[in-house]
Amino acid sequence: MGNRLSKIYTRTGDDGSTGMADGSRVAKDDLLVHAIGEVDELNSQLAVVACHLHDDFLLQVRAVQNELFNVGAELTLSHAMIQQQNVDWLEQSLDELNRSLPPLKEFILPGGGLAASHCHLARATCRRVERTLVSLDKTKTLNKFLLAYINRLSDYLFVLARAISREQGEDEIYWQSDRMNNEN
């Protein structure tokens, strides 16, 4: 970073606009700004998850957090930063985590301990990011790898939540549908 921020407030956003990396200004309620903010929110939720992790899981979450900064930069700069290898890494990590887990025979509810619950919240936020990016892609064509990365990330966070639960000795909470129970 060439220019370090020495003063955090600039007052330039008091009119309801925010500065983009190219120097242009965009309304703070623009869909692009929503997307960037939601990516930031997801990254912040992963910081909470990281507070409850150690070793391999922590390293993986930190890697994802760094990539989310690249996602935000890509959105701000309109320059592709997420590539196929980023999607591949998520898929490989997801497959590796999933190998150690029992197959799902029922739906699970978000939960399974504090860290896993925070991971489920991050997954739900990731899905919101994805919905916003799909809407944004209708007006501003986005990098296909960016969309694939965010889609895969929500899957990864689901499996990570399950793996965290298992590692921390917590039970997963299975969905109990009254309708299904009454039909049996």
Whole-structure pTM value:
0.90
Q: Nearest-CA neighbor of 68 among 82, 48, 54? A: 82
71 Cβ contact partners less than 8 Å away, ≥ 6 residues apart: 39, 81, 82, 146, 149, 150
DSSP state of 152: H
Rounded to whole angstroms, the Cα distance separating 142 from 46 reads 24
DSSP state of 23: S
DSSP state of 22: T
DSSP string over 99-130: HTSPPPSS-EES-SSHHHHHHHHHHHHHHHHH
Q: What are residue 19's DSSP bridge partners?
A: 25
Rounded to whole angstroms, the Cα distance separating 177 from 107 reads 10
Tokens in use for 148? Answer: 């694939």
Strands 25-27 and 108-109, sheet pairing: unpaired
Q: What are residue 25's DSSP bridge partners?
A: 19
Confidence of residue 1 (pLDDT cuts 50, 70, 90): very low
Q: What is the per-residue pLDDT across 36-66, written as a single tens digit (0 to 9) for each?
A: 999 999 999 999 999 999 888 999 999 999 9
Confidence of residue 21 (pLDDT cuts 50, 70, 90): confident
Of residues 181 and 45, the one with the higher pLDDT is 45
Query: What is the set of domains in the chain, with CATH numbers?
Result: 16-179 (1.20.1200.10)
Task: Return the sign of the alpha-carbon dihedral for residues 105, 108, 112, 118.
Answer: positive
> Over 90: is that where the pLDDT of 180 sits?
no
